[in-house]
Amino acid sequence: MKIPEYIGPMAFGLKMGVVLPGMDIIKTIYEPLEQCYRDDLLTDGDVICITESIVARAQGNYITVDDIAREIRDKLQVGDQNRLAVVFPIASRNRFSMILRGIARSVPQGEVVVQLSYPFDEVGNQVIDPDFSKSFNEDLIKMEDLKGHDFRHPLTGVNYIELYRKIIEEEGAAANIILSNDPLQVLELNPDAVIAADIHTRASTKEKINDRYENCITLDQVCTEGESYSEWGLLGSNMSSGEKLKLAPRDGQKVVNSLRSELYERLGIRVEVMIYGDGAYLDPSSGIYELADPRAAFAVTDGLDCLREGVKYKYLADQCFHEEKMSAEEIEALLTDSKKKELAEDSIDREGTTPRRMEDVLASLADLVSGSADAGTPVVVVRGFLS
């Protein structure tokens, strides 16, 4: 089916069977794309967006809670009875609860101090009621200050403070959970080691801690080598079955380049390819920033390493009609000509078209099409977006 010329950019998901460990991910994805090509649904300039989960699953990129515990003991030189601090983790069962279990298992007779930001975590999950937090004059809120209060996430219904306390104690360690927005606050408790567990602000958090304390790592420094690993470490990992976690895909750049080459060599078409995770989407209703991965796209082919920008159609149309008294045909010709011009960054013709990274926009689009609940379409084709 050939797409009519009057249709603009569009995206559609490809239904695929279950992808399991050991499968050839390039072959698995190529086959439905070849069918798209035969049906005139794939051509030069299209973008193939692959969700990270099927790539990591095909790779068998899994680790266990015990793996995390061993690595933390080794990297931070902690033992059974040490005090280990964790700063600014997000409030998430899927993204952090299993990681926390591994952290606690590394010091089974010691103590784990978890410092949460408040009233929200880094991506907008509510940790405590914002009105309650205003009753404190100082930044530090201790566990005893929370007695008699049951702060549950407004959407999931989970009390993350209680959940994290329970996980730590189940591993035999003592739990001390504090709330503070100052990453240096935890150093007042004299930890033997610190993990900066935030995602997008991890470098800044670690730098502040390192100014006063040396033994600190970030989550992307754990699980970066071995049989299963990711360049992103534990960032981008998800809860799997039992005590397993699925890491983000490894060697993603090799995967996207290989698929692009396969499509060109066998079908003669030039496309761009990306492996995407969470879309960079801020929910206007809940205030939650959906990007719990370290970035929206884990790997992209070089044609996507650019900004999406252009002329502001609405502004130019209004200006040409009201001020220049131009006809619709004249305006259309001007808009077509404007698209071909190299406009200065401060050009009024670009008013309102904030440049955004192409990979972020496309990953967000693909994530919304495929759906976080997984619509059974782990590959999304985007057409007419780069032209």
CA-based R_g, the chain, Å: 24
Q: What is the reported pLDDT for 136?
A: 85
Give the C-alpha separation, 223 to 202, whole Å: 16
More confident residue, 345 or 246: 246
b/e code 100-111 from CB counts within 10 Å (16+ = b): bbbbbbbbeebb
For tokens 């940790």, the residue is 127
Q: pLDDT band at 65, cuts 50/70/90? A: very high
- Predicted confidence (pLDDT) per residue in 127-158, tens digit: 999 999 888 878 999 999 999 999 999 999 99
Q: Which of 246, 261, 291 is the last residue of a domain?
A: 246
| Average predicted confidence (pLDDT) for the chain | 90
Percent of the chain predicted with pLDDT > 70: 88
Q: Look at 353 and 187; give whichever has higher pLDDT.
A: 187
Which residue segment(s) compose the domain that 135 sits in?
Answer: 62-246
pLDDT at 103: 98
Residue 8 has pLDDT above 80, yes or no: yes
304 belongs to a structural domain? yes
Check whether residue 225 and residue 212 sit in a common domain: yes
Report the pLDDT value the prediction gives residue 130, as an integer from 0 to 100. 93
Judge whether 3 lies within some domain. no
Q: Residue 214 has what DSSP assignment?
A: S
Is the CB of residue 230 less than 8 Å from the CB of residue 223?
yes
Cα 373 versus chain centre, distance: 15
The three-class DSSP label of residue 203 is: helix
Question: Is 4 inside any structural domain?
Answer: no
Q: Is the pLDDT of residue 46 over 90?
A: yes
Average pLDDT for 335-341: 57
Residue whose tokens read 């504090």: 178
- Which residues make beta-bridge pairs with 49? 274, 380
Dig out the tokens for 47 from the structure.
């973008």
Residues 17 and 92 in one domain: no
Whether residue 69 contacts residue 294, with contact meaning beta carbons closer than 8 Å, is answered with no
CB of 222 closer than 8 Å to CB of 234: yes
Considering the domain architecture, whether residues 126 and 197 belong to the same structural domain is answered as yes
Regarding whether 126 and 229 lie in a shared domain, the answer is yes
Do 236 and 207 share a structural domain? yes
DSSP label at residue 14 = E
One domain for residues 346 and 206: no
Q: What confidence score (pLDDT) does residue 385 get?
A: 87
**Do residues 114 and 241 both lie within one domain?**
yes
For residue 313, what pLDDT band results from cuts at 50, 70 and 90? low
Query: What is the structure's pLDDT at 350?
Result: 46
Is the pLDDT score of 323 beyond 90? no
Domain-embedded: residue 2: no
Model confidence band, residue 218 (pLDDT cutoffs 50, 70, 90):
very high
Tell whether 160 and 292 lie within a shared domain: no
Statement: residue 39 has pLDDT above 50: yes
When divided into structural domains, the chain yields a total of 3
Q: What is the mean pLDDT of residues 40-63?
A: 96
pLDDT > 90 in the chain, percent: 75
Within-domain flag for 379: yes
Rounded Cα–Cα distance for residues 281 and 225 (Å): 31
Confidence (pLDDT) at 315: 59
Q: For residue 217, is pLDDT > 80?
A: yes
> What confidence category does residue 242 fall into, taking pLDDT thresholds of 50, 70 and 90?
very high
Does residue 375 have a pLDDT over 70?
no
* CATH number of the domain within which 155 lies: 3.40.50
Same domain assignment for residues 30 and 73? no
- Are 115 and 226 found together in one domain? yes
pTM, rounded to two decimals: 0.88
**Which is more confident, 65 or 17?**
65
Q: Are residues 94 and 21 in the same domain?
A: no
Q: Which residue has the higher pLDDT, 223 or 332?
A: 223
Q: Which tokens in the block code for residue 226?
A: 């071995």
pLDDT(310) > 90: no
**Res 348: pLDDT:** 43
Residues 98 and 201 occupy one common structural domain: yes
For residue 228, the model assigns a pLDDT of: 96
Mean pLDDT on 246-261? 97
The answer on pLDDT for 339 being more than 70 is no
Q: What is the pLDDT of residues 347-373, one digit of tens each?
A: 444 444 567 899 999 999 999 998 754
